[in-house]
Amino acid sequence: MYSSISLGYANKLDMPIPLTAPDIARLIAGAPSRFDLWLRLLRTNPPDSAAEIGVWKGDFAKVILSNFNNLTKYYMIDPWAHLPDWNKPFNVDDRSFEDVYAEALLKTEFAANRRIVLRGRTSAVIDEIPTSRSTSPTSMETIRLGG
């Protein structure tokens, strides 16, 4: 038997129901995009705070901030800079990264009061997220890794 986790609602009362691995597979197969999949998952237990590590142009941040008005803090973590030790296709030159950064800010400007932009490597900026005694290592409820 599969272990189960809550990812859906049993009825109109929004009661969580346990889903087995096959249920989760159907949920994934039924999602037309990765954005839709994340929306479905996060709607089961909407977080008050979240972090996205690897924001790029801000498309995911825009979707989440548009759909979750309850989010009081959305941390956008990205260096938005050329990294000499990161051999990936999107590791563009610093001038191009300035345009990418500006685009991410523009796409999330509507939620400027809820977003917290941490520009730098994760290891350099992670301590800017306050910690909480009830959760460890940070006060974050949801974290998405991009890339």
| Highest mean predicted confidence (pLDDT) among 83-87, 129-133, 140-144 | 83-87
Would you kindly state where each structural domain of the chain is located, as residue ranges? 47-145
Cβ contact 50:43 at 8 Å: no
Residue 137 pLDDT level (bands cut at 50, 70, 90): very low
Question: Three-state secondary structure along the chain?
Answer: CCCCEEEEECCCCCCEEEECHHHHHHHHHHCCCHHHHHHHHHHCCCCCEEEEECCCCCHHHHHHHHHCCCCCEEEEEECCCCCCCCCCCCCCCHHHHHHHHHHHHHHCHHHCCCEEEEECCHHHHHHHCCCCCCCCCCCCCEEEECC
Residue 25, pLDDT score: 83
Residue 47, pLDDT score: 85
